[in-house]
């Protein structure tokens, strides 16, 4: 079955440590996205990539970094510079094109103490 | 930036009733989408309506779009307890970003 896999489902880190969240898709989609969701709120775009080896900042990119070395993979690193990293992180992918429907993974819940 | 805003923030209805959620947005769009999210899970795409369409149906879902008012509504007919979830509208920014509203939490009582 095609889909998006995010791992791990739960992640705990100490403040000051960098942490990398995994996102893999086998849908052959060109575009991939990272969103952050805080309790009771909508999704905010962190980074997105339309094609391999290219990515753009979203609305809240500060304190985060990404890479897109392979079409299937779009890992997100939450750095120690991110002031409030505890959140639910969602990865998504879509076909190339403006406004294409997004397919989401089931998220990683990151807790930093 | 938040393009879409849903109304109401929360909605509680009895099973069998209809549920209506509204979404307003700020700038011109290519299309508008509705998604559903069960607690602690990823979002699932429900329906997409293009800017030149006024109404679209999918099963028990009916979506309308009024570009002159920059608003959309999602109607779920004959609701079921399993429809309990958060519902989000999403719009493009004219480019490649998809921007989500804060969502409507729907609770359907059995």
The model's pLDDT over A8-59, given as tens digits with 9 standing for 90+, comes to: 999 999 999 999 999 999 999 999 999 999 988 889 999 999 999 999 999 9
pLDDT at residue number B92: 85
The C-alpha atoms of residue A64 and residue A78 are separated, in whole angstroms, by 5
Q: Report residues of chain B scoring pLDDT below 50.
A: 1-2
More confident residue, B77 or A98: B77
The C-alpha atoms of residue B28 and residue B6 are separated, in whole angstroms, by 17
The C-alpha atoms of residue A90 and residue A11 are separated, in whole angstroms, by 13
The C-alpha atoms of residue A19 and residue A11 are separated, in whole angstroms, by 9
pLDDT at residue number B7: 87
Question: pLDDT for B32-49, tens place per residue?
Answer: 999 999 999 999 999 999
pLDDT at residue number A71: 97
Would you call B48 and A101 a contact, using CB atoms and an 8 Å cutoff? Answer: yes
d(CA A43, nearest CA chain B) in Å: 6
- Answer whether A6's CB lies under 8 Å from A91's CB: yes
Averaged pLDDT, A68-76: 97
User: Among B44, B28, B23, B86, which Cα is nearest to A3's?
Assistant: B44
Chain A residues contacting B via beta carbons under 8 Å: 4, 6, 31, 33, 35, 40-43, 45, 48, 50, 56, 58-59, 88, 90, 92, 94, 98-99, 101-107, 109
The residues that bridge with A89 in the sheet, in sequence order, are A36, A108
Residue A58 DSSP SS3: coil
Sheet holding B19-25, edge to edge: B4-7, B19-25, B71-76, B61-66, B55-58
Q: How high does pLDDT run on average in chain A?
A: 94
pLDDT at residue number B97: 86
Averaged pLDDT, A81-91: 95
Strands A76-78 and A64-66: antiparallel
């Amino acid at each position: 079955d095609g889909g998006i896999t995010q791992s791990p489902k739960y992640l705990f880190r100490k403040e000051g440590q960098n942490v990398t969240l995994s996102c893999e898709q086998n849908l052959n989609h060109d575009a991939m996205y990272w969103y952050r969701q805080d309790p009771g709120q909508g999704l905010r775009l962190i980074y997105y990539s339309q094609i391999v080896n290219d990515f753009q900042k979203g609305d809240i990119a500060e304190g985060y970094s990404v890479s897109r070395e392979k079409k299937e993979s779009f890992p997100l690193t939450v750095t120690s510079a991110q002031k409030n990293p505890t959140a639910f992180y969602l990865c998504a992918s879509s076909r190339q094109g403006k406004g294409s429907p997004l397919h989401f993974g089931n998220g990683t819940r990151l807790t930093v103490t | 930036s938040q393009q879409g805003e849903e109304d109401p923030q929360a909605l509680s209805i009895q099973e069998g009733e209809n549920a209506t959620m509204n979404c307003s947005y700020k700038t011109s769009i290519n299309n508008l989408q509705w998604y559903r999210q069960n607690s602690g899970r990823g979002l699932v795409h429900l329906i997409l309506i293009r800017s030149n369409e006024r109404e679209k149906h999918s099963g028990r879902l009916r979506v309308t779009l009024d570009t002159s008012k920059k608003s959309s509504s999602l109607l779920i007919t004959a609701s079921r307890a399993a429809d309990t979830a958060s519902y989000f509208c999403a719009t493009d920014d004219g480019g490649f970003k998809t921007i989500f509203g804060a969502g409507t939490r729907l609770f359907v009582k059995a």
